[in-house]
Amino acid sequence: MSRKYFGTDGVRGRVGKLPITPDFAMRLGYAAGKVLASDHSVLQPGQHPTVLIGKDTRISCYMLESALTAGLTAAGVHVNLTGPLPTPAIAYLTRALRLQAGVVISASHNPYEDNGIKFFSATGQKLPDAVEEKIEAQIENEIHTAPSRELGRARRIEDAQARYIEFCKSSFPFDKDLRGLRIVVDCANGATYHVAPHVFHELGAEVVTIGTEPDGLNINLDCGATHTAALSSAVRKHRADFGIALDGDGDRLMMSDRDGRIFDGDQLVYVIARHRVETGYMKGGVAGTLMTNLGMEHALSRLGLPFSRAKVGDRYVLELLQEKGWQLGGETSGHILCLDKHKTGDGIISALQVLHALKDSGASLAEYTSDLTLYPQVLINVPIARRIDLSAALPVKEAEEQAKADMGEEGRIVLRPSGTEPLIRVMVESASEAQARKWAEHIAESVKLAAAA
Would you please indicate which residues are annotated as catalytic (active-site) residues?
A: 108
Q: What are phi and psi for residue 4, nearest 5 degrees?
A: -90, -35
| Count of CB atoms situated within 10 Å of the CB of 283 | 11
d(CA 291, CA 257): 24
Are 305 and 277 spatial neighbours (Cβ–Cβ below 8 Å)? yes
H-only helix segments in 140-264 = 160-170, 196-202, 229-237
Q: How far apart are CA 424 and CA 444, in angstroms?
A: 9
Contacts of 233 (CB under 8 A, 6+ apart): 260
> Cα angle at 182 between 180 and 184, to 5 degrees?
155
CA angle 51, 53, 56 (to 5 degrees): 165
330 strand-pairing partners: 336
Answer yes or no: are the C-beta atoms of 71 and 154 closer than 8 Å.
no
| Under 8 Å between Cβ of 22 and 69 | no
DSSP 102-142: EEEE--TTS-TTEEEEEEEETTSSBPPHHHHHHHHHHHTSP
202 secondary structure, DSSP code: H
**For residues 319 and 329, is the Cβ–Cβ distance under 8 A?**
no
- Give every strand in the sheet of 423-430, ordered side by side: 377-383, 423-430, 411-417
Distance from C-alpha of 254 to C-alpha of 334, rounded to nearest angstrom: 6
Closest CA to 275 of 344, 172, 356, 221: 356
Give the separation between CA 193 and CA 52, rounded to whole angstroms: 20
Distances from the Cα of 157 to the Cα of 43, 246, 381, angstroms: 22, 24, 44
Rounded to an integer, what distance in angstroms lies between the CA atom of residue 314 and that of residue 308? 14
Helix (H, G, I), strand (E, B) or coil at 212: coil
